[in-house]
Structure 1
Amino acid sequence: MSSKVIVTGGGGVIGRAICARLTAGGYEPVAGDLDSSIPEGRGAFPFAFVTLDVTSTDSIRAAVAEAVPAGEGLAGLVNCAGILRDSFVGELDEAQLDLMFQVNIAGMARVVEVTAPLIDDGGSIVNIGSLTGHFGRFTGASVYGATKAGIAAYTRYLASELAPRGIRVNNVAPGVIRAPMSPSMARVSGGEEISAGYAMLKRIGEPEEVAEVVEFFISGRSSFVTAQTLLVDGGVVAW
């Protein structure tokens, strides 16, 4: 069985943490992202890297062909690519609205379409959702939250479809995680201090805490778990 795992959005803070944890778990992660997502340049990237644009099937096919030589397979896939654009009523930007759906939902489906035939029977797919798909206190995140809620549904249906091959599909939904905040994220969340107050644990999460859960779902330790969404949010949604 292969040990290779493609991680879309692998150039981001959470994507890098996932690649690091997968490496520690004995896997061979291949980070797929736009070159512009790597501030230091791809030459400084510590893992195997392929240029991948989830809005383009041609780009995905080229990236997968580079990452997975003919005759080889994949242990799994982590769909981590995603973008947040605020969508306050009265300020809706049609182009940004479309881009969120193209990346967060359609992009995930495109990547699965290309990679699923290569994933070994008994392998695993992990989708990265968000607590915004399960709670509504981030004003201005309605469309983003809708895309992330859609990931939970997509996970369940995909798990059913791939179950005959023993491929498990699960969804990890992080809360607010420590990373440089985009202007959109700051606007909808109110910033780190306010976000921390929503959690039972009264703090925001670390990227490594998300990565630990992702690696568990990729590994055989979760061999009887599929079609599930696990919130890694410090207890935000539970109260």
Structure 2
Amino acid sequence: MNRKVIVTGGAGVIGLAICRRLVEGGFDPVAADLKDAVQAVDPTDASLAGVDMVVMDVSDRGSIENAVATVLEPGEQLAGLVNCAGVLRDSFLGELDEAKLELMFQVNIAGMARVTDVCAPRLAHGTAIVNVGSLTGHFSRFTGASVYGATKAGIAAYTRYLADELAPRGIRVNNIAPGVIRAPMSPSMARVSGGEEVAASYAMLKRIGEPREVAEVVEFMLSDRASFITAQTLLVDGGVVAW
């Protein structure tokens, strides 16, 4: 049985952690990302054995279609899809930049919809989609993340609608909403979160998360162990939103 899963944003820190965990779970992950990101991945990294790479720009439907054609033979089906590609740019009031605004919606919302539109017909019956959102869609104390948070809140709604549409094919769709996860912080992330120490203070567990902790949940949601879970958003945030 084919076990191929496309992971968008797959060359990032969280994306690679997801791919590694999928290999352990018996899947054949394909990390799909921008050309520069794919080229930056160390080809000698033994922990990535079993992970394939493909260039994909989620803001360009043609790029998505070319990537899927590269990954799949005619008639071949996918065992799952992980929509992990996303970008954060700060959007403080009075400083809103049109290019940042466009980028976040094109990647975080429209990009996810494009990828899913192309990949859904290739998903086998009874498989699953996992969308990766963010706690910012449910939490409002990261000042300057309003637009980013709006795109991530939109993913939760998109997930519910998509789950209903794909249910007749037995395809489950869920949304994972991570908190702040240990990875090199972009300037925008540092500005809106206040840095790792401040971000950790918001969590019940008083720490930020590890990429592996997100990857574990994604693998579970793709697996048959989650066979009766669909249309859900699961916060993986150390208790930030509940506190």
Query: 2:88 matched to 1:81?
Result: no
Query: 2:7 matched to 1:7?
Result: yes
Please list every run of 5 or more consecutive structure 1 residues that lacks an aligned counterpart in the other structure: none
Which of the residues 185, 194, 202 maps onto 1:198?
A: 202
Please list every run of 5 or more consecutive structure 2 residues that lacks an aligned counterpart in the other structure: none
CA distance in 1 between counterparts of 2:44 and 2:59 reads 25
Question: Are residues 157 and 17 of structure 1, via their aligned partners in 2, closer, same or farther at CA, if it must alter by over 3 Å?
Answer: same
Contact 2:38–2:55, Cα closer than 8 Å, also in 1: no
> Shift in Å at residue 40 of structure 1?
3.3
CA distance in 1 between counterparts of 2:181 and 2:117 reads 29
Question: Are residues 41 and 204 of structure 1, via their aligned partners in 2, closer, same or farther at CA, if it must alter by over 3 Å?
Answer: closer
SS at structure 1 position matched to 2:81: strand
Contact 2:33–2:54, Cα closer than 8 Å, also in 1: yes
Query: 2:125 matched to 1:131?
Result: no
SS at structure 1 position matched to 2:240: coil
CA distance in 1 between counterparts of 2:39 and 2:170 reads 38
In the other structure, the counterpart of 1:188 is 192
Contact 2:137–2:152, Cα closer than 8 Å, also in 1: yes
Contact 1:175–1:233, Cα closer than 8 Å, also in 2: yes
Aligned residues: 239
Which aligned pairs between 1:13-28 and structure 2 lie closer than 5 A?
13-28=13-28
SS at structure 2 position matched to 1:53: coil
Contact 2:11–2:41, Cα closer than 8 Å, also in 1: no
CA distance in 2 between counterparts of 1:42 and 1:226 reads 35
Contact 1:2–1:75, Cα closer than 8 Å, also in 2: yes
2:103 aligned partner, one-letter code: L
Which of the residues 217, 228, 241 maps onto 1:237?
A: 241
Contact 2:38–2:54, Cα closer than 8 Å, also in 1: no
TM-score normalised over the length of structure 2: 0.96
In the other structure, the counterpart of 1:70 is 74
Query: 2:30 matched to 1:30?
Result: yes
Q: Deviations over 1:185-204 (max 9, x none)?
A: 00000000000000000000
Contact 2:38–2:53, Cα closer than 8 Å, also in 1: no
Question: Are residues 124 and 37 of structure 1, via their aligned partners in 2, closer, same or farther at CA, if it must alter by over 3 Å?
Answer: same
Contact 1:2–1:120, Cα closer than 8 Å, also in 2: no
Query: 2:66 matched to 1:55?
Result: no
Which of the residues 223, 226, 232 maps onto 2:230?
A: 226
SS at structure 2 position matched to 1:81: coil
Which aligned pairs between 1:164-183 and structure 2 lie closer than 5 A?
164-183=168-187
Contact 2:128–2:221, Cα closer than 8 Å, also in 1: yes
Contact 1:35–1:42, Cα closer than 8 Å, also in 2: no
> Shift in Å at residue 39 of structure 1?
6.2
> Shift in Å at residue 33 of structure 1?
0.1
CA distance in 2 between counterparts of 1:75 and 1:41 reads 24
Question: What percentage of aligned pairs have identical amino acids?
Answer: 73
Cα RMSD (Å): 1.1
